[in-house]
Structure 1
């Protein structure tokens, strides 16, 4: 894959930025695509452009504002409360979002001579979103290939890992601090550790706390082992 080109679906958040660093490790050429769909945390577009520029990656922003009109939800309407109720889809779910994002990203990718698409969807911490499931991604991959007669490959580096292991991957890529302090995951549009109250911030913080605790335990275990051997 190293001599090929990839397009990363990029929001400037923890997951997509981790995927961007992953793509930079695995492909010779990488571009990003960011979608403006009327999200109330639209500062993420600004953050995505800042990160892409910082990492020397070309970023394209596409207007997907039609989603705002077709799929009212807590991410596009300030009068809809962010809620997660057992047995129901969260109010932050946007119908068709990943279907449209990956479809438009693939059209862009083909035009730029890329066949690899990278997205940060995850079935482990997917909040019940049906369009974050592996079966959806595999199904869409086949559909895109058939629709454009092009050999696309959709990569999902985070699909089977939780937030703790997403932070671990970021650390292995040498990007933990960068991702912690430069990305925006918060539904209320606050960079880095965010507001600390919305579901996205809580999930992110819990994963970070778990990873840092695990890392400290491993460090102490290694130190103790060295002491016993000396």
Structure 2
């Protein structure tokens, strides 16, 4: 794959940034695409742009404002609470988001001569999002190939990793400090370690603590 080109679906968060570093190891040429769907925190787009600039990656921002209009949710509406009731989809779930993002990323990739798409979806820590499941990605991969008569490969480096293992991957890629300090995962729009209270921050912090504890245990042996 070293001679080929990839497009990374990029939000500037922990997962997509780890995937960006992974792609830089795997492919000769890497670009990033970020989607502006009038998300709750515009800082997300700024962070993605800053990271792409830091890494010397060509970065495209696509306007997806229609998604905001069609699928109101806690990530696009400041008056909606961030919550997850048992047996229901989280209020942060955006209907069709990964379907649309990957489809538009594929259109962009084809125009740029890239056959590889990289996304940070994860079934292990998928938070109840149906469009983060492996079966969805495989199905969409077939559909995109048929729709455009073009052989895409969708890569999901984090699909079977928990958050501790995602931190481990970042460390193995030499990007642990970068991901820890320069990404935005927090639902409340606070960079790095975030607010420490929202579901995204709790998951991120717990995973980091587990990884660092495991790493310290190995080093002490």
- Normalised by the size of structure 2, how large is the TM-score? 0.99
Query: Aligned residue for 2:150?
Result: 150
Give the deviation of 1:150 after TM superposition: 0.1
* 2:57 aligned partner: 57
Alpha-carbon shift at residue 169 of structure 1 (Å): 0.2
Q: Secondary structure at the match of 1:204?
A: helix
Mapping for residues 4-23 of structure 1, pairs under 5 Å: 4-23=4-23
Determine whether 1:199 maps to 2:199. Answer: yes
Residue in structure 2 matched with residue 214 of structure 1 by the alignment = 214
Deviation at 1:126, TM superposition (A): 0.3
Q: State the superposition RMSD in angstroms.
A: 0.4
Q: In structure 2, what is the Cα distance between the partners aligned to 1:38 and 1:209?
A: 32
**Paired residue for 1:174?**
174
What's the CA shift for 1:42? 1.9
Q: SS of the residue aligned with 1:216?
A: helix
- How many residues are treated as equivalent by the alignment? 221
Aligned partners of 1:79 and 1:11: how far apart in 2? 22
Q: How far 1:123 sits from its partner (Å)? A: 0.1
The equivalences for 1:100-119 within 5 A come to 100-119=100-119
Deviations 1:107-130 (A, max 9, x none): 000000000000000000000100
Distance in 2, Cα, partners of 1:84 & 1:164: 22
CA distance in 2, matches of 1:40, 1:171: 30
User: Following TM superposition, by how much is the alpha carbon of 1:23 offset from its aligned partner in structure 2, in angstroms?
Assistant: 0.1
Aligned residue runs from structure 1 range 59-74, under 5 A: 59-74=59-74
Q: Unpaired runs of 5+ in structure 2?
A: none
Output the CA distance in 2 between the equivalents of 1:126 and 1:41: 21
| Equivalence for 1:159 | 159
Cα deviation 1:203-226 (Å, max 9, x = unaligned): 0000000000000111111xxxxx
CA distance in 2, matches of 1:90, 1:42: 21
Q: Could you tell me how far apart the structure 2 residues matched to 1:180 and 1:42 are?
A: 20
Pairing of 1:77-156 with structure 2 (within 5 A): 77-156=77-156
For normalisation by structure 1, the TM-score amounts to 0.96
CA distance in 1, matches of 2:28, 2:88: 42
Give unmatched runs, 5+ long, in structure 1: 222-230
Which runs of at least 4 in structure 1 moved beyond 4 Å after TM superposition? none
Q: CA deviation at 1:41?
A: 1.8
